[in-house]
């Protein structure tokens, strides 16, 4: 006797949502990003599984949404990667957008928010409403095609609630899927092997740069990574230091009240902030800079490389200190705040000079080991 086939409407997001709920019961304070890592999914997939509960899809129009945020007033803008998180209060005003060679970019450099965006990499947008002990926490969050966070914008106590509600009603999507088919394949970048690179030409091109922005074209043209360039261009232009130099750098800058320029980015967003440091602390693996309207959090356990880099610029060379994680991703850049066309301060150069090259630390360790053996 033939029986009709039993049709089961299976939605993978139902299982993910259940696993997430169980995990939250076990770890109530767990953040969505960390929960996604434990559940082996992207953050965007996890958020989508909760659609119609506390998250809702936005239409894929990031330029229009960001422009509309000018009416909201003060917001908290968060840009992060796996290692560093930059949080800044400010206003979206005077946003500019441009399309060139297929790249859709955006920029905000006024009213306290200095943000550079690659809007091609904003694939998913969500409204997220979280219940906190201080009330409802509302945010707009944008993710790339792999479900990784590009930009998060939180309402503050000073935000215009009515303007925010109007934005949501305008940009909420009519489609609210709970499952995202995220591509997991990793595209390998085609890079030149070091023995095939004419490093003397790379060095010459480096020295002829008109500004630090020309550096990206240098990397693209030679098909090398930042670290490859730094390791081969010459110690007068780049040399490696120990990652733990971060704490010393910030503590001295705090004491001397030097105004630093911080930059944290990912594949879709780069956020910058210039200021002195008001307070620092360490909590577990995190080193924190805590200002009234700006916070920076760095997971120091993930830092594996740090470099002092000098690039030509109008007004004189620009010296930056750059920190990388174990995946060779740039986590954080620090330089000195300065006006366009003016040289960087002698005080900053003296501070950077205190950061000993990594080769010297290794030599010191070898000397200590030899003395111990004797």
Domain assignments of the chain as residue spans, ordered by start: 12-80+122-171, 198-363
Phi and psi at 46, nearest 5°, equal: -65, -45
Same CATH fold, 198-363 and 12-80+122-171? yes
Scanning the structure block, which residue is given the tokens 């850049």? Answer: 333
Give the pLDDT score at 190: 62
Output the CATH code of domain 12-80+122-171: 3.40.1570.10
Is residue 255 exposed (0-12), middle (13-18) or buried (19+ Cβ within 10 Å)?
A: exposed
The domain 198-363 belongs to what CATH superfamily? HemS/ChuS/ChuX like domains (3.40.1570.10)
pTM, 2 dp:
0.88
Give the pLDDT score at 357: 87
Q: Tell me 58's DSSP state.
A: B
Q: Tell me 166's DSSP state.
A: H
207: its two tokens: 């020295």
Give the pLDDT score at 355: 93
* CA–CA separation, 50 and 88 (whole Å): 27
pLDDT tens-place string over residues 51-91: 988 899 999 999 999 999 999 999 999 999 999 999 999 99
Walking along the chain (374 residues) 10 residues at a time, the average pLDDT comes out as: 46 82 90 91 94 92 95 96 96 88 77 89 94 81 95 96 96 93 63 81 92 83 89 95 96 97 96 96 96 96 96 88 95 93 92 85 42 41
Give the pLDDT score at 313: 85
Interacting residues of 209 by C-beta distance below 8 A, sequence separation 6+:
215, 218, 311, 312, 313
Give the pLDDT score at 75: 96
Give the pLDDT score at 2: 53
pLDDT tens-place string over residues 263-306: 999 999 999 999 999 999 999 999 999 999 999 999 999 999 99
Strand partners, 262: 273, 334
């Amino acid at each position: 006797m033939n029986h009709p086939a039993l049709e089961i409407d299976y939605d993978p997001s139902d299982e993910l949502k259940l696993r997430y709920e169980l995990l939250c019961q076990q770890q109530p304070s767990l953040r969505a990003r960390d929960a996604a890592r434990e559940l082996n999914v992207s953050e965007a997939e996890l958020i989508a599984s909760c659609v119609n509960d506390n998250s809702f899809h936005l239409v894929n129009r990031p330029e229009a949404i960001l422009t509309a945020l000018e009416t909201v007033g003060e917001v908290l803008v968060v840009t992060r990667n796996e290692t560093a998180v930059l949080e800044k209060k400010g206003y979206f005003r005077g946003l500019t957008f441009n399309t060139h060679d297929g790249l859709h970019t955006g920029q905000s450099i006024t009213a306290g928010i200095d943000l550079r965006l690659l809007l091609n990499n904003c694939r998913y947008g969500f409204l997220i409403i979280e219940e906190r002990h201080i009330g409802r926490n509302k945010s707009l969050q944008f993710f790339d095609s792999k479900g990784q966070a590009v930009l998060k914008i939180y309402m503050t106590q000073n935000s215009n609630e009515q303007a925010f509600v109007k934005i949501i009603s305008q940009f909420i999507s009519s489609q609210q899927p709970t499952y995202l088919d995220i591509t997991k394949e990793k595209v390998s970048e085609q890079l030149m092997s070091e023995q095939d690179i004419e490093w003397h030409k790379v060095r010459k091109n480096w020295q002829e740069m008109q500004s630090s922005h020309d550096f990206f074209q240098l990397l693209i043209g030679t098909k090398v990574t930042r670290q490859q360039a730094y390791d081969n261009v010459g110690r007068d232009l780049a040399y490696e230091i120990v990652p733990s130099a971060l704490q010393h750098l910030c503590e001295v800058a705090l004491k001397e009240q030097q105004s630093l320029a911080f930059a944290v980015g990912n594949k879709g967003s780069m956020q910058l902030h210039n200021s002195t440091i008001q307070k620092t602390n360490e909590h577990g693996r995190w080193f924190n800079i805590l200002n009234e309207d700006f916070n920076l959090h760095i997971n120091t356990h993930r830092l594996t490389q740090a470099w002092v880099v000098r690039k030509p610029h109008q007004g004189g060379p620009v010296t930056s200190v750059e920190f990388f994680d174990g995946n060779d991703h740039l986590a954080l850049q620090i330089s000195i705040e300065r006006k366009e066309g003016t040289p960087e301060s002698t005080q900053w150069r003296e501070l950077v000079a205190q950061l000993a090259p990594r080769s010297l630390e290794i030599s010191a360790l070898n000397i200590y080991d030899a003395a111990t053996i004797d």
